[in-house]
């Protein structure tokens, strides 16, 4: 909307997080806390300003050109943060103001707040909610007719006011002309010596501005102040994701020990064993069995594939493939259909064709392995010469024996065999046997002579 603006307050130091990172940059279900707030408001307006403070660099780098920034050099409170940003907004229009640490806030809730604000012709509207334990939150103070009089911060409240359970979520709508006027009149005469944004409500009320309060959902409006609350929020979000997946046809054997990103897509009849972590925008096809104790990051898995006790990072695995136990697929590994990647196998930046077997104790790095290849125990691609990484090419139906070193760049042509224990530095032609090892010599009686004493 052209005359709707948004202000996200993210300059707080987040001291209770005890971190070198800004509080809003701590990761929640795969992305920084502030990302959720930015996504919600940009669903309403593209005119978004984020106020940043002392730990601003990582926030600014992460959000980039998605928003505009205002720097609050001294953290003197929420009112001061809003005040220093006002030059970025016109004198007329509606502005939504919210903190950067309410990740469950929905676009639909903000849209309802905006609609309520405009239909009521309010100068300011508070998104409030009822909390059974309102400790630490500002209280909504109303008169006998239910009209909002002010917001009183918990630390400044009397005993009677502390009994009020309707709290301020710190999410608002203001008419800009009223907000700008009120911000010029707030002071820091309070317990913290800070400029509170909440003080603008009483000022606007006293100058005949109408104040509204829309009741919201307490769960949706919960903020994050420390790592305990971060973990609690993580669990709540994860529980909701897992329940939806189970209702959509996914079997999760132990939800208390399974983590799945909200960006992941899981097909029907997938079975997920305990200890599984699926992160990022991963896609798991139907009928897969994942886990136990498997981590999949931003990868695509085909149908009917089994992965156990393994790590898969930014890779692709085809249909009806078996991975693990204890396999490690590093970024840009592309595994075909009906492939076996066995125990203690590492694959990196490689393509492995359909029906190929890499059964155990092998390393495939910077390689293109064809279909129907047998890549035996202990075989490795030697891809790094100390300066540059080179590729190895193994064509279809080749056989690589045990404990073979393929010194890249090198090519094994279709149907060729490489004898166990060989170190291959030159091309092995089609259907040839490549062998590169010393002839065995037996010295009779050597042990007796050596150890006769």
Tokens of 276: 């599984």
User: Would the annotation count 217 as a binding residue?
Assistant: no
Q: Which residues pair with 28 in a beta bridge?
A: 31
Q: Which of 306, 297, 395, 391 is nearest to 350 (CA)?
A: 391
Question: Does 360 qualify as catalytic in the annotation?
Answer: yes
322 within 8 A of 305, measured Cβ to Cβ: yes
User: Would the annotation count 349 as a binding residue?
Assistant: no
User: Would the annotation count 401 as a binding residue?
Assistant: no
User: Would the annotation count 437 as a binding residue?
Assistant: yes
User: Would the annotation count 101 as a binding residue?
Assistant: yes
CA torsion, points 21, 27, 33, 39, in degrees to nearest 10? Answer: 130
Q: In angstroms, rounded to a whole number, what is the distance separating the alpha carbons of residues 393 and 36?
A: 45
Run of H or E residues at 170: strand 166-175
User: Would the annotation count 168 as a binding residue?
Assistant: yes
Q: Which of 195, 180, 141 is nearest to 164 (CA)?
A: 141
User: Would the annotation count 11 as a binding residue?
Assistant: yes
User: Would the annotation count 384 as a binding residue?
Assistant: yes
The torsion angles phi and psi of 60, rounded to 5 degrees, stand at -65, -40
Neighbours of 147 (CB within 10 A): 12
Which SS3 state, helix, strand or coil, does residue 65 take?
A: helix
C-alpha torsion sign, points 413, 415, 416, 419? positive
User: Would the annotation count 353 as a binding residue?
Assistant: no
Instruction: Find where tokens 């929020």 sit.
Output: 233
User: Would the annotation count 393 as a binding residue?
Assistant: no
User: Would the annotation count 396 as a binding residue?
Assistant: no
User: Would the annotation count 293 as a binding residue?
Assistant: no
Choose, from 21, 26, 257, 360, the residue flagged as catalytic: 360
Q: How many CA atoms lie within 13 A of 207 on its CB side?
A: 14
User: Would the annotation count 72 as a binding residue?
Assistant: yes
List, as residue ranges, the binding site for UDP-N-acetyl-alpha-D-glucosamine: 9-12, 23, 72, 138, 153, 168, 225, 330, 348, 363, 374
List, as residue ranges, the binding site for Mg(2+): 101, 225
**What is the set of active-site residues?**
360
List, as residue ranges, the binding site: 9-12, 23, 72, 101, 138, 153, 168, 225, 330, 348, 363, 374, 383-384, 420, 437
């Amino acid at each position: 909307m052209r005359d709707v603006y948004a202000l996200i307050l993210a300059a707080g130091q987040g001291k209770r997080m005890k971190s070198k990172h800004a509080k809003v940059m701590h990761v929640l279900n795969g992305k920084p806390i502030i990302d959720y707030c930015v996504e919600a408001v940009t669903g309403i307006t593209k005119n978004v300003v984020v106020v940043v403070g002392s730990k601003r660099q990582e926030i600014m780098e992460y959000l980039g050109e998605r928003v505009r920034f205002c720097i609050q050099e001294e953290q003197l409170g929420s009112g001061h943060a809003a005040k220093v940003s006002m030059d970025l907004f016109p004198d007329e229009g509606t502005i939504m103001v919210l903190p950067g640490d309410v990740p469950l806030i929905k676009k639909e809730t903000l849209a309802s707040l905006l609609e309520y604000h405009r239909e009521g012709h309010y100068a300011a509207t508070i998104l409030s909610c009822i909390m059974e334990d309102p400790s630490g939150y500002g209280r909504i103070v109303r008169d006998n007719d239910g009209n909002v009089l002010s917001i009183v911060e918990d630390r400044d409240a009397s005993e009677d006011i502390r009994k009020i359970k309707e709290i301020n979520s710190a999410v608002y709508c203001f008419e800009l002309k009223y907000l700008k006027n009120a911000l010029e009149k707030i002071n820091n005469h309070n317990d913290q010596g800070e400029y509170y944004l909440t003080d603008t409500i009483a000022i606007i009320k006293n100058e005949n501005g109408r104040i509204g309060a829309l009741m919201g959902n307490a769960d949706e409006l919960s903020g994050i102040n420390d790592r305990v609350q971060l973990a609690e929020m993580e669990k709540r979000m994860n529980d909701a994701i897992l329940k939806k997946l189970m209702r959509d046809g996914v079997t999760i054997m132990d939800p208390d020990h399974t983590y799945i990103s909200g960006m992941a897509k899981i097909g029907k009849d997938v079975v997920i064993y305990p200890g599984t972590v699926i992160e990022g925008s991963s896609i798991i096809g139907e009928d897969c069995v994942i886990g136990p104790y498997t981590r999949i990051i931003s990868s695509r898995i085909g149908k009917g594939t089994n992965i156990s006790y393994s790590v898969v990072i930014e890779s692709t695995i085809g249909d009806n493939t078996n991975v693990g136990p204890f396999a490690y697929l590093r970024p840009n590994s592309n595994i075909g259909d009906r492939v076996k990647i066995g125990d203690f196998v590492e694959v990196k930046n490689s393509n492995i064709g359909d029906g190929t077997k890499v059964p155990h104790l092998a390393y495939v790095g910077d390689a293109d392995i064809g279909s129907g290849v047998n890549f035996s125990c202990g075989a490795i691609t030697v891809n790094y010469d100390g300066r540059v990484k080179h590729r190895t090419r193994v064509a279809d139906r080749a056989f690589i024996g045990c404990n073979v070193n393929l010194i890249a760049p090198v090519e094994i042509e279709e149907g060729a065999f490489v004898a166990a224990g060989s170190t291959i530095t030159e091309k092995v032609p089609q259907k040839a046997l490549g062998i590169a090892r010393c002839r065995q010599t037996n010295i009779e009686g050597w042990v007796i002579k050596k150890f006769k004493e």
